[in-house]
Every structure is written in C-alpha cells, then in structure tokens.
Amino acid sequence: MINYITYSDLAKDVRENIWKIPHDIDVVLSIPRSGLIPGIMIAEYFNIPITTVDNLVKTGNIEDSLLGNGRRLICKKEINGEKPKKKILVVDDTFYSGAGMKEAQEKLKNFDYDFVYLVVYTENPKIPKNIIYFRDISLYGALSSFVFAKVSIFEWNLFHHGMLSEILYDIDGVIFNDPPDERNEEAYLNYIKNPIPKFIPQDLSNKCLNFATYRLNKYRDITYNSLQNVGIKIGHLYMFNAENYNQRNITQAPYIYKGIIFKEHEEYKLFVESDDYQAQFIHNISGKPVLSIEKNIVYN
C-alpha cells in the first residue's frame, strides 16, 4: 500500500490546521526546497514575509533575507524598554528521521530570534514535542501485508523519491508527452527520436530506473537513446515483442501486458501509468499499487 499525498491534500491540511500556529509570527522561514511549498501558503494566509534558512544564513539578518515583495516586517513596540525578539516560524514539509530539521537548527543556533518549528507531516511518531505538526502519517497502512505499507510518496517528490529504482514506469504520457498516432509511421518515428519531455525522474543515488512500455521492441534503440538523452540511467526496459502495430494489438491489450510484467516482478512496488483506465486494470491484474497520472491517484 502506498500513501500518496497530493498538492491538494497539502493545501487542505495547511488550511485546516493553520490554527495550530501562533498568530504573532513575524516571518516564515522555509527549509528548501520542499518546505517552501507549505511555507508560501502559510505566509500568504498570515500576510507576512517569507525567506529561507539558507538565505538568512547568507545575509546574516532577517530583514535583508526576505524574498520578493512580501509585506515588510512590523516594528514591534518596546516592552519595559526592550524590543521583543522577532518570532520566526521554521517550516518543512515532512519529518522522518529529523535530519533536515536538525540541520536547520544547527544553522540557526547563533541567531537571536524566537524560533518556532513546524512540519506539515510527520512520518515518525516520536517527533520532538517542540515541533508543531499538522498530520501524523506514521501509522498509515499499518495493517497492510505489503513490505512498503508505511511508505508515503508526496506529489512534489514523486520523481526524486528514494524508491525510484523500485518503481516501474510507463514511458508515453509519463516520461515523454504522448506521440502522434503510430499508424502514421513517419510522424511517429520522427517524434520518438526526439520526444518532448514531460516528467523526468532523477535518482540522486544514481540507481537505474525501470520501464514497461507498449512500444514495439523494434524501437528499442531509439527509445533507449531518448531516455539516455534526458539523463536517465536505464535498468530494465520491457517492450512489446511483435512485428508491427496490427500484430501487437490483436495479441494482447496494453494493460494486460503491463499488468503481467508488474505482477511477475516482486522487486517493483509501484507502477506509474499515464492512462487512468489502464492504471485500474494494471492494479487489478497485479494486485499492487498503481499511480494514475491522469487522475493523480494511487490504486492500492
């Protein structure tokens, strides 16, 4: 089972839990990159400025670090002859091991501000009490028999997640935009030689990625080259072994072909399919999670 969290889920969780944030915050300080997404939402709701941890460290003070044209800092009134410290909300999207938050705290330890720490999602039930969180997803799917029952994938890190090498990808409609009708062979060939990129997975650990496509095997070299040209390191490339378009289409439907491959290879934990109709069938055939790019949902 895959816990797939979308941008829509994120927006809803921020909106419904924003009351947990102290309303005397002066600045939102995001941990880049993912922390900028909820950080901008919160800054807009509160109508306060936003910046990043790295920008604060670089400039040395909060006033010079602010991004864009956000509202200027309010000059707080003195209390007993002293100006109160600026209250700064440090935001990240998730908390798992806590490494990202600890790194941010280390960078901020010499600044004389009142820091409040927040994450939207915690995947660790032992999150420190001094960190505000909006939603605990650590127990999601605990009753599932799948090894990856507790794994969450976020829409914003789908294509650079740590388990990329354990995902099986469709090509047309996922990695590249859909080609023209294959029956127009000249136009089809011209396109797949130089296709338009759509979503390009990037495995930071430099592992190979794996693909299952309904393209004919005679286009293997062209397909291999086009994937390499966008920086993808290729592991397995499953292609349909038929002589031509007509022979393939009367032999096996695309969703059956992909579903069987996915089912027979236990090492793949998720299939990413462009077409929603096919995604549902691939899930039914394999009994494993399939992400529909068209509907932006996972069938578990």
Question: Are residues 2 and 300 in contact, defined by beta-carbon separation less than 8 angstroms?
Answer: yes
- Name 240's bridge partners: 216
CATH (domain of 194)? 3.40.50
Structural domain includes residue 44: yes
d(CA 239, CA 246) in angstroms, rounded, equals: 15
Nearest to 280 by CA among 264, 297, 261, 267: 297
Express each pLDDT in 147-202 by its tens digit.
444 678 999 989 988 888 899 999 999 999 999 999 999 999 999 999 999 999 88
Shared-domain flag, residues 131 and 174: no
Structural domain includes residue 101: yes
Distance from chain centroid for Cα 5: 8
Shared-domain flag, residues 17 and 102: yes
Structural domain includes residue 145: no
Shared-domain flag, residues 207 and 293: yes
Shared-domain flag, residues 189 and 263: yes
pLDDT score at 143: 41
pLDDT score at 72: 54
pLDDT score at 200: 92
Q: β-strands 209-216, 131-136: how paired? A: unpaired
pLDDT at 146 over 80: no
Structural domain includes residue 150: no
d(CA 112, CA 93) in angstroms, rounded, equals: 24
pLDDT at 141 over 50: no
- pLDDT band of residue 204 (cuts 50, 70, 90) is low
Question: Are residues 13 and 134 in contact, defined by beta-carbon separation less than 8 angstroms?
Answer: yes
Shared-domain flag, residues 88 and 200: no
Shared-domain flag, residues 215 and 272: yes
Shared-domain flag, residues 36 and 115: yes
Domain limit, last residue, from 75, 101, 136: 136
Shared-domain flag, residues 23 and 59: yes
Shared-domain flag, residues 94 and 210: no
Structural domain includes residue 148: no
Name the domain count of the chain.
2
Percent of the chain residues past pLDDT 90, beyond the cut: 67
- pLDDT band of residue 299 (cuts 50, 70, 90) is very high
Average pLDDT, integer, range 8-34: 94
3-state SS track over the chain:
CCEEECHHHHHHHHHHHHHHCCCCCCEEEECCCCCHHHHHHHHHHHCCCEEEHHHHHHHCCHHHHCCCCCCCCCCCCCECCECCCCEEEEEEEEECCCHHHHHHHHHHCCCCCEEEEEEEEECCCCCCCCEEEEEECCCCCCCCCCCCCCCEEEHHHHHHCCCHHHEEECCECCCECCCCCCCCHHHHHHHHHCCCECCCCCCCCCCCEEEEEEEEHHHHHHHHHHHHHCCCCEEEEEEECCCCHHHHHHHCCHHHHHHHHHHHCCCCCEEEECCHHHHHHHHHHHCCCEEECCCCEEEC
Q: β-strands 290-292, 297-299: how paired? A: antiparallel
pLDDT score at 85: 82
d(CA 16, CA 120) in angstroms, rounded, equals: 11
**What is the rounded average pLDDT for all residues in the chain?**
89
Containing domain of residue 268, as a range? 162-299
Shared-domain flag, residues 102 and 188: no
Shared-domain flag, residues 185 and 253: yes
Structural domain includes residue 196: yes
Structural domain includes residue 156: no
CATH (domain of 68)? 3.40.50.2020
Express each pLDDT in 220-268 by its tens digit.
999 999 999 999 999 999 999 988 888 988 888 999 999 999 999 999 9
Residue type at 116 in one-letter notation: V
pLDDT at 205 over 60: yes
Structural domain includes residue 152: no
Shared-domain flag, residues 116 and 178: no
Express each pLDDT in 48-81 by its tens digit.
999 999 989 988 888 877 776 555 555 555 556 5
